[in-house]
Chains A and B, each alone.
Chain A
Amino acid sequence: MSDLATYAERKGLWSWLTTVDHKKIAILYLLAGGFFFLLGGLEAILMRIQLMYPNSEFLSGSTFNELLTMHGTTMIFLAAMPLIFAFMNAVVPLQIGARDVAFPFINALGFWLFLFGGLLLNLSWFLGGAPDAGWTAYPPLSSGHDFSDQGIDYYVLGLQIAGIGTWIGGINFIATIVNMRAPGLTFMRLPMFTWGTFVTSVLILFAFPAITVSLVLLMFDRLFGANFFDVNAGGNVVIWQHFFWIFGHPEVYILILPAFGIISEVVATFSKKRLFGYSSMVFAMVLIGFLGFMVWAHHMFTVGMGPVANALFGISTMLIAVPTGIKVFNWLFTMWGGRIRFTTANLFAVGFIPTFVIGGTTGVMLSVPPADYQYHDSYFVVAHFHYTIVGGMAFALFAGLYYWWPKMFGTMLNETLGKWNFWLFFIGFHLTFFPQHFLGLMGMPRRIFTYQEGIGLDLGNFLSSLGAFTMGLSTVFLLINIIVTLKSGQAAPADPWDGRTLEWAVSSPAPEYNFAQMPLVRGLDALWTEKRNGDGKLLPAEPLAEIHLPSPTILPFLMSVGLFIAGLGFIYHLIPVIVGGLAVTLICMVIRSLVDDPGYHVWPRELEDPERGVDA
C-alpha cells in the first residue's frame, strides 16, 4: 500500500513517461500539441513570406508543396486533435465527478501513439523530403513513385500510428462518459464541453477506421505493389477520395464540436447566466454530429458524381446550417442580459461567434454545387476553411486555454498579455483570411507557390502575409505569457471565475484522485446549483474511504516506440526492423495481459491533514 509520499516523489522525466493520470496526460497533450501548433504556424509563415510579393523566389515550388502539405497535416492531426484531447483529458473526468478515465492505460497509449506518429511524419524533413501531395494526398499524385517521393510513405505510416492513438482515445472517452458519471449526473445534466467530447468521440470511433483503410490501401499500393489506385491494372482513384472524406468531413466536426462545448462553457460562465436553451444545444450538437457523416461528397462535387448525388450532398450540407444557427443564437441569448466579464477567455469566445458565422456562411455558399464549380480549388475555399478551423477551432482553443489554465497548472495566466494575445490574433486573423475570399473570387488557385505581377492579386496577398505575421506576433505574446506565468504566476484559487461546473469544486490543480468523495449532482451546472441552493459545497455521494488508483507503467511508451520502429522498417523495406518493432509492441501487450496491475491506494488529503481544509 503506497501512499501520498510516493505520489509526491513522482517527478522528473520518468514520471511523465510512465504516467497514466489523465491530468498529466492532458499536460503532455498540451505540450506536444502546442509544439506542433508552433511548427505548423512556422510553416504557414514561410509560405506567406513566399506569397507576399509576386514572382517571389524565397522558396522553390517543391519546398512550397512540402510546406503546404505538412502545414495542413500538422495542424489537423498533430495540433488541433491533440489540443482538443488535452482539454478533454484535463476537464472531462472532473466535469463528470469521476476519479479517473475508464481506461487509464489506453489513454496513455493514445498519447504516445499520437506523439510517435507525429515524430515519424516530421522525420521526413530530414530523411528524403517531406510529403508533398497536399494534406488530402489524392492518388495518383500520392500513389505512384512518378509524382511523389518517399515523403508520402512517412505520411502514410505516421498518420496511421497517430490515427490509432486518436481512435483508442475516442473509445476511452465514450466509455468514461457512459460509465463513470457521478450519481445524479444524468445525460441531460452533462456540461456542454462533456457533451461535445461525447459526440466527438463517437465521430472519432466511426470516422477514423475509414482513414485507416484508405492509408492501408495507399500503403499497399506504394510498398507492396498493389493496384488499388493504379488505373492501368483496374484500380480506381475515386475510392481514395470517398474514404478520405468519409473520414475527413466528420473530422472537421470532431474538431469543432468540443470547440462549441468550450464556447458554451466560457460564454455562460462569463455572462453569469445558465446557458440559454441547454436542451436545444444538446440536440443541435447531436444533429450536427449525425449530419456530419452525410455530407462527405460535397468535397467532390467536381469529380463527376452526377447531378442527383451533388444535389443530395448539397442539401444535406445546407441542413447543417440549421443546428449551427441554433447554437449561435443560443450563445447570443446567453449573453443577453447577462453580467458579462470580458476576460481573455471570454474575448476569444465572443470573437469566435461572428468569425465562425462568416465561415459558416461561406460554407453554405460552397454547398451549392453549381457555385462550387466556380469556387473549387480556389483561395475562396482556403478562406472558408480557415474561418471555420482557425476562426472557430483555434479561437475556442485559446478561450479554453485561458479558461482552464488555472485548473491545469494552478496559476493564473496574465490578463494584460492575454488581451494583447487576443487583439493581435483577432486582427491578424481577419487581415490574413478576409482578403483570401477575394483572391479566390479573382481566380487565384489553391496550392500555387507564386503568381504573376499585375493580375490583381498583389494587394490581397500582401495584406494576407501581413496578417499572418501579426498572428505570429500574437503567438509570441502567448509564449511570453506562459513563461512569465510559469516563473512568477499568481496562484489560482479553486474557483477563479465563479464557475458553474464540477471542475471548479476541486483545488487548482486537482488532487491526483480528483474528488475525495464522489459528488452527488443535484442539477444542471452542478456547482452553481450548490452555490444557489446549498452552501456552495458539493454533497458527497459516498463515505470517505481509501482510494484505489492505477500504477504508472512504461508499457504504453514502449508499445508506441515499437510501432515507430516498425513504421521506419516499412518505409525502408527492412523486414528485420519491421519484425523487431512489431515484436516490441506485441511483447508489451503480452506483459500487459499477464501481469495484473494491483494499483495503489491513497488516503484523501482531508484525512491526512484536516487543517488543510476541504477541497472537495
Chain B
Amino acid sequence: MSTQHAVHQTLPPEPERATLEGRNKVLGFWLFLAGECVLFGSLFATFVALRDQTNGGPAAAELFQLPMVALTTVILLTSSLTSVLGILAMHRNKLAQTQAWFVVTVLLGLFFLGLEIYEFVEYYRHGHRLTSSAFGSAFYTLVGFHGGHVLFGILWISLLIAQSFKKGLTVVTAPKFYVASLYWHFVDLVWVFIFTVVYLMGMVA
C-alpha cells in the first residue's frame, strides 16, 4: 500500500473531476449512457411489440416466477448501493474501503448473473427459446443484452480493483472508478425497467 501513501496528500476532494481528462471522461461517459438509453429503449419497444407473439409456446404469466425475480432485483439494487459506498470511500481517499465495497458489488453482480443463468436454463426447459417464437427472441435479446452488460461490468470493475492495488487512488484511477459506478447504476436502472415491463406486466397480462 505504499503507492496509496505516496498520493495520499495530493488527492483532491473530487478526484474524478480534478483534471481535464477526468472531466472529459465523465462527460463522455454520460453521453455514452444517453446513447445506451436509446439502445435499450429500442429493445424495450421491440419486446413490447412482440411479447404476446408466443407462437403456441408458454406465455409470460405461465413462465415467470416472481419471488426469484424479486430476489434478483433486490440483489442488483443492493449492488448499486455498495458501489455508491465505494465512491464515497474513494472521495474520503480510503483505498481499502473502496476496494472492499467494489468487491462486494462484483460478488452481488456474480450472484445476480448466476440466478439469471439458472432462470434462462429453466425457461429453456419449458420450451421458451430464442428460436421458438417472436416473444422468445425479444425476451432473450432484451434480458440477455442486460445480462451481457452485467457481465461486462463485473469484468471491468474487477480489472479496476486489481489495478488499484498497484496504482492506488489517483486522479487517473479515480475517474475510472467513478464512471464504472455510473455504468453500474445505469445497468441497475435498466433492470428496474425490465422488472416492470417484462416481469410485472407479463404477470398481469
Contact = CB atoms under 8 A, between A and B. Distances in A.
Interface of A: 102-103, 106, 167, 171-172, 174-175, 178-180, 205-210, 212-214, 216-217, 220-221, 224-228, 230, 233-236, 239, 243, 246, 590, 593-594, 596
A209 B38 contact: yes
21 contacts: A103-B28, A205-B31, A205-B34, A208-B35, A209-B39, A213-B42, A220-B137, A224-B130, A226-B130, A227-B133, A233-B53, A233-B133, A233-B134, A234-B134, A234-B135, A235-B53, A235-B134, A236-B53, A590-B159, A593-B159, A593-B160
B78 interface: no
Interface residues of B, number: 37
Interface of B: 20, 23-24, 27-28, 31-32, 34-36, 38-39, 42-43, 45-46, 49-50, 53-55, 130-138, 141, 159-160, 163, 167, 172, 176
A225 B24 CA distance: 41
Contacts of A103: 24, 28
B55 A234 contact: yes
A102 B24 contact: yes
Contacts of B136: 226-227
A246 B45 CA distance: 12
A221 B133 CA distance: 11
B42 A210 contact: yes
Given A175-B27, A175-B28, A234 B54 contact: yes
A102 B46 contact: no
A582 to B, nearest CB: 12
A362 to B, nearest CB: 30
Contacts of B35: 167, 171, 205-206, 208-209
Given A206-B35, A234-B134, A235-B137, A227 B46 contact: no
Given A220-B137, A234-B55, A239 B49 contact: yes
Contacts of B45: 239
A216 B136 CA distance: 15
Given A213-B43, A224-B131, A236 B50 contact: yes
A121 to B, nearest CB: 22
Contacts of B27: 102, 174-175, 178-179
Contact of B172 (A233, A236, A596): A596
Q: Which of A205, A235, A594 has the most CB of B within 10 A?
A: A235
Given A213-B39, A213-B43, A234-B50, A227 B24 contact: no
Contacts of A590: 159
Contacts of A221: 137
A212 B39 CA distance: 7
Contacts of A246: 42
Nearest to A234: B53
B50 A220 contact: no
Nearest to B134: A234
B137 A228 contact: yes
Contacts, number: 112
Given A171-B31, A205-B34, A226-B137, A593 B176 contact: yes
Contact of B42 (A227, A234, A243): A243
A233 B38 CA distance: 26
A175 B133 contact: no
A239 B28 contact: no
A595 to B, nearest CB: 10
A38 B78 CA distance: 55
The 9 A-B residue pairs whose C-beta atoms are closest, nearest first, are A234-B53, A234-B134, A226-B137, A213-B42, A209-B39, A209-B38, A225-B131, A102-B24, A235-B134
Contacts of B32: 171
A174 B141 CA distance: 30
A206 B34 contact: yes
Given A205-B35, A230-B134, A235 B50 contact: yes
A171 B27 CA distance: 9
B27 to A, nearest CB: 5
A243 B138 CA distance: 15
Nearest to B23: A179
A213 to B, nearest CB: 4
A217 B46 contact: yes
Contacts of A213: 39, 42-43, 46
Contacts of B138: 228
A217 B142 CA distance: 11
Contacts of B36: 209
Given A212-B39, A593-B159, A226 B31 contact: no
Contacts of A175: 24, 27-28, 31
Contacts of A230: 134
Given A205-B35, A206-B35, A235-B50, A179 B24 contact: yes
Nearest to A206: B38
Contact of B49 (A102, A212, A236): A236
